């Protein structure tokens, strides 16, 4: 399918979605560290989110951010 997004577009969409999700849950000043790693190779998306905040729910928020990234990429392909 020639209309499929590029790997760069997929990675950028995933990263933006994950970061946006985290920042929708926490003020930027509360986030000590946020690292989103997204790769897209051979049609497979991998997203890892590392989040350092003073909150017991941080691990769940990081997992939800990765899920938001995958959903955003799914939507990107559906709209292509």
* Average confidence score pLDDT of the chain: 96
Q: What is the CATH number of domain 7-79?
A: 3.30.300.100
What is the per-residue pLDDT across 25-45, written as a single tens digit (0 to 9) for each?
Answer: 999 999 999 999 999 999 999
* DSSP, res 28: G
What is the per-residue pLDDT across 52-72, written as a single tens digit (0 to 9) for each?
Answer: 999 999 999 999 999 999 999
This prediction has a pTM of: 0.94
Residue 75 CA to residue 59 CA, distance in Å, equals 25
Domain boundaries, the chain: 7-79
Phi first, then psi: what are they for 53, rounded to 5°? -140, 160
pLDDT computed for residue 80 by the predictor: 87
């Amino acid at each position: 399918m020639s209309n499929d997004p590029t790997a760069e577009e997929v990675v950028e969409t995933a990263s933006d979605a994950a970061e946006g999700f985290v920042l929708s849950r926490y003020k930027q000043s509360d986030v000590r560290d946020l690292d989103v790693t997204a790769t897209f190779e051979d049609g497979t998306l991998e997203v890892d989110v590392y989040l350092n905040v003073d909150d017991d729910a941080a691990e769940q928020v990081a997992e939800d951010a990765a899920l938001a990234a995958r959903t955003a990429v799914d939507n990107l392909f559906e709209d292509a």
